[in-house]
Amino acid sequence: MTHNIGHITVIGAGAMGSQIAMVSALAGFSTTVVDISQDSLDRARQQLWSRVDRDVEKGRRTAEDVEQAKDRLVFSTQQDEAVAHTDFVIEAAIEDRSIKRDIFAQLDKTAPAHAILTTNSSNIMSSQIADATNRPDKVCNMHFFNPALVMAGVEVVPHAGTSQETIETTIAVTEAFGKDIIELKQEIPGFVANRLLNAIRVEALNLYDAGIADFEDIDQAARSALRHPMGPFELMDLVGIDVAYLVRMAEYEQTGNEAAKPHPKLAEKYEAGDYGRKTGQGWYQYAE
């Protein structure tokens, strides 16, 4: 048990939430992943099981570890019930401030008073959510990267009112997950990693938009000339064009900074519903 954390709840069984929940279960925590949609939960279970079974086949994990982790992971549509005895919540629902505020207000009513409430949001800072609860000192960002089962880094970001104890416990949970901690001293939209990522993405979109090179060649430059594991366009497709767009929109709305507005080429893809791998079409086309 880490800082007396026995049970962890993850809200949202999308690409991020489901893998975060699996990370938690693999780390030995009794874990519940909650989603309003039973279909999303069924899909998450099927995808996670095939991921971890493959890890066993490839000798990356033992069959015993994986079976125990599966037993520790509960899939539920009942948020209130799931959090009634939880110690630590990681919210990974849609990037929408008012939805997150509603979720946090409800968590505050139903989770035990000691429970820490974190958000995986990449761009909505916890100060914008914490005041929807009566425990703002127990709220912070705990930001994972996609795919969460693979990516080692996690940003831990307190807001001005987050207590030292909350920061320490969140760091301890991150360590127990086997992840590398990127600790921010204060909030900033985009945190650190996404600010770096965005600088590359904006430049890539500008080069493409100006007709300097095709997006495939820009990706090639990132991979072959800079040794990035993926090019910026491939990465948008992996993370989700919708996520990339909404993150920029949230920053624009928070700061009023015109430069934060989603790039027109990104907006075009978003408006067409071409979200990347998840819809089969983004910058690239994906087979079923």
CB of 229 to ligand CAA, least distance (A): 4
Nearer to ligand CAA, 2 or 194 (CB): 194
Radius of gyration of the chain, Cα coordinates, nearest whole angstrom: 19
Q: For ligand CAA, which is the closer residue by CB, 46 or 134?
A: 46
Which of 132, 177, 135, 185 shows the shortest CA–CA distance to 158? Answer: 185
Residues forming contacts to ligand CAA in the complex (CB under 6 A) are 51, 54, 58, 122, 145-147, 149-151, 194, 197, 229-230, 235, 239, 243
**Beta-bridge partner residues of 180:** 153
Q: Please pick, among 24, 30, 120, 122, the residue that the annotation labels catalytic.
A: 122
* C-alpha 145 chain-centroid distance: 6
Contact 158, 166 (CB under 8 A): yes
Report, in Å, the least distance between residue 182 CB and ligand CAA: 12
Catalytic annotation present for 122: yes
Task: Compute the least distance from the CB of residue 48 to ligand CAA, in Å.
Answer: 9
- Catalytic: 224? no
Strand partners, 139: 117
* Token pair recorded at residue 38: 């039973």
Question: How many Cβ atoms are within 10 Å of 165's Cβ, its own excluded?
Answer: 12
Judged by beta carbon, residue 58 or residue 227, the one nearer ligand CAA is 58
What are residue 52's phi and psi, to 5 degrees? Answer: -75, -30
Rank residues 136 and 232 by Cβ distance to ligand CAA and give the closer one: 232
Catalytic residue, chosen from 30, 126, 194, 198, is 194
Give the residue closest to ligand CAA by C-beta: 122
As a whole number of angstroms, the distance between CA 79 and CA 227 comes to 42
Catalytic residue among 91, 121, 127, 143: 143
DSSP 146-171: SSTTT--EEEEEE-TT--HHHHHHHH
Cis upstream peptide for 147 (omega within 30°): yes
Cβ nearer to ligand CAA, comparing 142 with 235: 235
Instruction: Indicate which residue of 91, 155, 234, 251 is catalytic.
Output: 155
Contact 165, 179 (CB under 8 A): no
Residue 143 falls in the annotated catalytic set: yes
**198 a catalytic residue:** no
Q: Would you name the residues annotated as active-site residues? A: 122, 143, 155, 194
